Chains A and B, each alone.
Chain A
Amino acid sequence: MKNEPKPQNSYRSGPDESGHFGLYGGRFVAETLMPLVLAVEEAYAKAKADPAFQTELDYYLKHYVGRPSPLYYAPRLTEKLGGAKIYMKRDELNHTGAHKINHCMGQILLAKRMGKTRIIAETGAGQHGVATATVAALFNLPCTVYMGELDIERQKPNVFRMKLLGAEVKPVTSGSRSLKDAMNEALRDWVSHVEDTFYIIGTVGGPHPYPMMVRDFQAVMGREVRSQIMEAEGRLPDSLVACVGGGSNAMGLFYEFLNEPSVKMVAVEAAGHGVNTGMHAAALAGGKAGVLHGMRSYFLQSEDGQIQEAHSISAGLDYPGVGPEHAWLHDTQRVEYAAATDDEAIAAFQMCSRLEGIIPALEPSHALAHVQKLAPTLPKDHLMVVNICGRGDKDIFTVAEKLGVTL
């Protein structure tokens, strides 16, 4: 691992007052949305400073979500790879089956505080949509989820789940009919319903304060890992591995440890058919700085600044951009960004299922694919934590098709 971080006073001080992480972040939204974005920022600052807000959030995280999630030592995977000692952060065991519920719970409690009466969200894999529909049901708020037509096709179980939970799922037929277009459509809805609607964004992206706010709500994962690994091993982990699409699960795991120089971090982008094929979703490996969805960050784009379609077998990673804090951590080299292909993820998906009895989602299967490459090169006393941020039930149809199995 070749991390040589540039010196910083702190990697945990971002964003600045105007929402920038170095060059990245900001508030690139239409004027109609600006007052609302500023209101969210103000409301979140107040909530953050109010112990009652954290108490209420903690209550729901414990009794409804099922936190803390276990930190599980994976003995058979460790033995098979023959190197680093591998721990899994089991956020796939959360209610709704992924880490997305962490930031949905935080955001809906904020929406309630702001007196908003309607919830909207975008979703790719459907995990964020399901989590949003879940908390909307819990708090009895009407909910509309925008989802690309292509994703609706490949994530049917989650579409039905959202409907069972009472949400309206609106198919998005524009552009590449996947996650970025769902976000465009959600923003169009928001701009048309500013009075009553709260937009629950599903990643560490969008205009300030969303990247910071979603990170804060997800940071519970890293905090738990710190105390869990101290209890299990009496010391900090040596490395953390997580997949990155927008980057919410990676930020949630990493944030706690950013100022611990001994902790290496690797985020794994989706390389699709390969980062040199033009058919991938690796914004940091194959994109450049740009402005979309309210933020400056890295985006896959043409020379003329037209956003390009991303390609990944994992709907949750199928986004041509990445959260602005990741862009900054990439440029400062605090975090190493790697990539895993569709095929590598599918192989890791099967390996994890057979060795550990855990069917991971295709998203963390990208992280596992990198663990598979990395762990054998490391000594046995190297402590590695990989974020299993979602479970794979939703993906079995995609995987079956890829493997040529008829269900």
Chain B
Amino acid sequence: MSHFSSEPFTSRLTTRFAALKAAKRCGLVTFVTAGDPDAATFAALLAGLPRAGADIIELGMPFSDPMADGPTIQAAGLRALNAGMTLAKILDLVHDFRAQDQATPLVLMGYFNPIYAYGAERFLKDAKAAGTDGLIVVDLPPEEDSELCLPALREGLNFIRLVTPTTDAKRLPTVLNNASGFLYYVSVTGITGNKQASAAPVREAIERLRQSTDLPIAVGFGITTPEQARALSSHADAVVVGSAIVNRIAAGLDANGKAKPELVNDVLNFVRTLALR
């Protein structure tokens, strides 16, 4: 099998992973849905994530029909949409974050339709200008690369690929072609937050991937506890925690679905327990 080591440009992601490697440390990628539970609470949470231990931040772009997500992320998306979140407002959040933090990579994750409705080319320009570093678009497999992946690379944005347990050796080169930033290894066959990843098969899969790519590898989709994060940290370059953090956000809501005053601190304290520094 051919070996893929394509880094089309130097991005914040490249720099961050290089720094993690130099420090011999596994990175923590935190996933939160943009605008959950409301724009002001979220902006405070986002601003606090790097100091709490987030090495990379994944911002979910809420969508009405999130087919790859379990109930936790579905509910978060709904909260954000009901609070009026739009793609344009997400880019504003990114812009405000970037004004204060030049180092922490920000990756937008979501589904294609809101981007398509915004206009793919316009979105890429605006996302780049706001300070976005990469994109994960769940329903754009390599077969649809001309839609967004190739234009994103031209714009200087990493398009991050998902590799799954169903990605076999025959398919892997297709997935690695045009991959950049890092590889996101989906550690369970299923939707977000539903199953727990077990360490042994994930380690094996990572070792196999390393034979075909020099890209950093982040593992996600089934990691809910600090223990699990630590168990995988010796093999992966980063671990992604999403639903577990979003559950803490949900726990910080009052009976009317409004954020309690302590929500931001509670969530950041939980992120501190995950931090792999």
Listed stretches A32-40, A130-138, A370-378; interface member: A32-40
Contact flag A305-B117 (CB < 8 Å), given A31-B167, A174-B74, A194-B189: yes
A231 contacts B by Cβ under 8 Å: no
Cross-interface CB contact of B64 among A30, A36, A288, A307, cutoff 8 Å: A307
Interface string of A34-63 (1 = CB under 8 A from B): 111000000000000000000000000000
Chain A residues lying within 8 Å of B9, measured Cβ to Cβ, are none
B140, B143, B163: most-surrounded residue (chain A CB, <10 A): B143
Q: Which residues of B contact A (CB under 8 A)?
A: 63-68, 70-71, 74, 81, 86-87, 111-118, 138-141, 143-144, 161-168, 171, 175, 186, 189-191, 194-195
A29 contacts B by Cβ under 8 Å: yes
Cross-interface CB contact of B144 among A28, A192, A304, cutoff 8 Å: A28
Q: Do the beta carbons of A34 and B143 come within 8 Å of each other?
A: yes
Q: Do the beta carbons of B116 and A31 come within 8 Å of each other?
A: no
A27, A32, A175, A294: most-surrounded residue (chain B CB, <10 A): A32
A306 contacts B by Cβ under 8 Å: yes
Contact flag A32-B186 (CB < 8 Å), given A191-B191, A290-B117: yes
The minimal Cβ–Cβ distance linking B81 to chain A, given in whole angstroms, is 6
The minimal Cβ–Cβ distance linking A41 to chain B, given in whole angstroms, is 11
Q: What residue in chain B is nearest A27 (Cβ atoms)?
A: B143
> 27 A-B residue contacts at CB 8 Å?
A26-B144, A27-B143, A28-B112, A29-B141, A30-B139, A31-B162, A31-B163, A32-B162, A32-B166, A32-B190, A34-B171, A35-B166, A174-B71, A175-B64, A184-B66, A188-B68, A191-B67, A192-B190, A192-B195, A194-B166, A195-B189, A290-B117, A291-B111, A305-B63, A305-B114, A305-B116, A306-B114
Chain A residues lying within 8 Å of B161, measured Cβ to Cβ, are 31
Chain A residues lying within 8 Å of B116, measured Cβ to Cβ, are 289-291, 305
Chain B residues lying within 8 Å of A10, measured Cβ to Cβ, are none
Q: What residue in chain B is nearest A39 (Cβ atoms)?
A: B166
Contact flag A291-B141 (CB < 8 Å), given A31-B175, A36-B166, A305-B87: no
Chain A residues lying within 8 Å of B65, measured Cβ to Cβ, are 175, 180-181, 184, 292-293, 307
Report the Cα distance A305→B87, complex, angstroms: 9
Chain B residues lying within 8 Å of A306, measured Cβ to Cβ, are 63-64, 81, 114
Which residues 150-208 of A have a CB within 8 angstroms of B? Answer: 174-175, 180-181, 184, 187-188, 191-192, 194-195
Report the Cα distance A319→B144, complex, angstroms: 25
Chain B binding site: helix, strand, loop or mixed by DSSP? loop
A218 contacts B by Cβ under 8 Å: no
Report the Cα distance A36→B138, complex, angstroms: 16
Which 8 pairs, one residue from A and one from B, show the smallest C-beta to C-beta distance? A305-B117, A192-B190, A305-B114, A32-B164, A306-B64, A31-B162, A28-B139, A307-B64
Contact flag A304-B86 (CB < 8 Å), given A28-B139, A291-B113: yes
Q: Do the beta carbons of B140 and A28 come within 8 Å of each other?
A: yes
A9 contacts B by Cβ under 8 Å: no
Cross-interface CB contact of B113 among A27, A29, A31, A290, cutoff 8 Å: A290
Report the Cα distance A290→B117, complex, angstroms: 7
A303 contacts B by Cβ under 8 Å: yes
The minimal Cβ–Cβ distance linking A182 to chain B, given in whole angstroms, is 11
Report the Cα distance A34→B144, complex, angstroms: 11
Q: What residue in chain B is nearest A296 (Cβ atoms)?
A: B116
Report the Cα distance A192→B193, complex, angstroms: 12
Report the Cα distance A27→B114, complex, angstroms: 17
A301 contacts B by Cβ under 8 Å: yes
A8 contacts B by Cβ under 8 Å: no
Q: What residue in chain B is nearest A180 (Cβ atoms)?
A: B65
The minimal Cβ–Cβ distance linking B155 to chain A, given in whole angstroms, is 19
Which residues 191-236 of A have a CB within 8 angstroms of B? Answer: 191-192, 194-195
Chain B residues lying within 8 Å of A191, measured Cβ to Cβ, are 67-68, 189-191
Q: Do the beta carbons of A30 and B112 come within 8 Å of each other?
A: no
A18 contacts B by Cβ under 8 Å: yes
Report the Cα distance A197→B247, complex, angstroms: 30
Q: Do the beta carbons of B189 and A304 come within 8 Å of each other?
A: no
A18, A174, A180: most-surrounded residue (chain B CB, <10 A): A174
Q: Do the beta carbons of A291 and B189 come within 8 Å of each other?
A: no
Report the Cα distance A169→B8, complex, angstroms: 49
The minimal Cβ–Cβ distance linking B253 to chain A, given in whole angstroms, is 19
Q: Given contacts A192-B194, A290-B117, A304-B87, list 18 more A-B pairs with CB under 8 A.
A: A18-B143, A29-B141, A30-B162, A31-B164, A32-B189, A32-B190, A34-B143, A175-B64, A184-B65, A191-B68, A191-B191, A192-B189, A290-B116, A292-B65, A301-B117, A305-B87, A305-B118, A306-B64
Q: Do the beta carbons of A188 and B67 come within 8 Å of each other?
A: yes
Chain A residues lying within 8 Å of B171, measured Cβ to Cβ, are 34-35
Report the Cα distance A34→B170, complex, angstroms: 12
